[in-house]
Structure 1
Amino acid sequence: MKRRTFRAEGARAVVEAVAFELGLPVEQARGLVEVGAVYVAGRRCRDSKARLTPGQVVAVVLEEGGQSSLAEAPAAPTFRVLHEDADVLAVDKPAGLNAQPTEARVGASLVDQVSGYLGREAGLVHRLDRETSGVTVFGKTPQATSALAAEFREGRARKRYVAATGPGLPESGTVDLPLSKDPSRPGRWRASRAANGVPALTHFRTLYAGPEFCVVELLPQTGRTHQLRAHLTALGAPILGDSRYGG
Structure 2
Amino acid sequence: MFEQTISEDEAGQRIDKLARRLLAEVPLSGIFKMIRTKRIRVNGKRTQNDYLLQAGDVVEFRVVQPGPSGVPLPPKPRVHKLPEVPILYEDDSVLAVDKPGGMAVHPGSGIKGGTLVDWARHYLQVDEEQKEFKPSPAHRLDRETSGVILVAKKRKAMVRLTEIFTEGAAHKRYLALVKGRMPRPKGTIDLPLAEHQQTARSRAERGVNMQPAVTHFRVLASGAGVSLLECTIETGRTHQIRRHLAAIGHPVAGDSRYGDFPFNREVAKGWGLDRQFLHARRLELEHPVTGNPLVVQAPLPRELAQVLHAAGIAWTLPKDSDQGEKA
Q: 1:197 to 1:52 in 2, by over 3 A?
A: same
Residue 220 of structure 1: how far off its partner (Å)? 0.7
Residue 240 in structure 1 maps to residue 246 in structure 2: no
| Structure 1 position 74 matched with structure 2 position 74 | no
CA distances 1:47-73 after superposition (whole Å, capped 9, x unpaired) = 4x54535xxxxxxxxxxxxxx995145
CA gap 1:228/1:69 in 2 versus in 1, 3 angstroms: farther
* 1:76 shift after superposition: 3.5
Which of structures 1 and 2 has the bigger CA Rg? 2
SS in 1 for 2:172: coil
Q: Is the 8 A contact 1:93 1:136 kept in 2?
A: yes
Are the counterparts in 2 of residues 74 and 107 from structure 1 also a CA contact under 8 Å? no
Structure 1 partner of 2:188: 174
State yes or no: 1:88 paired with 2:94: yes
1:127 aligns to what SS in structure 2?
A: coil
> Does the CA-based 8 Å contact 1:201-1:221 persist in structure 2?
yes
Q: Which runs of 4+ in 1 moved over 6 A?
A: none
- Post-superposition Cα deviations, 1:31-87, rounded to whole Å, max 9, x if no partner, equal xxxxxxxxxxxxxx984x54535xxxxxxxxxxxxxx99514532442111000011
Task: Give the match's secondary structure for 1:150.
Answer: helix
What are structure 1's unaligned runs of at least 5 residues? 1-12, 14-44, 54-67, 187-194
**2:115 counterpart letter in structure 1:** S
Q: Give me the whole-angstrom Cα distance separating, in 2, the residues matched to 1:150 and 1:246.
A: 32
Q: Specify the code of the residue in structure 2 equivalent to 1:243.
A: S
Deviation per CA, 1:120-161, whole angstroms, max 9, x where unpaired?
232211100001000000111000111112111101100000
Other-structure match for 2:220: 207
Percent identity of equivalent pairs: 43
Q: Which has the higher contact order (CA 8 A, sep 6+)?
A: 2
C-alpha contact (below 8 Å) 1:111/1:124 kept by paired residues: yes
Tell me, which stretches of 5 or more residues in structure 2 are unaligned? 2-19, 28-73, 127-133, 201-207, 261-327
Shift of 1:209: 2.2
Alignment correspondent of 1:107: 113
What is aligned with 2:157? 144
The change in CA–CA distance for 1:242 and 1:51 in structure 2 (over 3 A counts) is closer
Contact 1:70/1:106 (8 A) holds in 2: no
TM-score normalised over the length of structure 2: 0.51
Whole-angstrom CA distance in 2 between matches of 1:89 and 1:246: 32
- Report how many residues are paired: 183
Of the three residues 116, 123, 138, the one matched with 1:117 is 123
TM-score by length of 1: 0.66
Change (3 A) 1:198 1:71: same
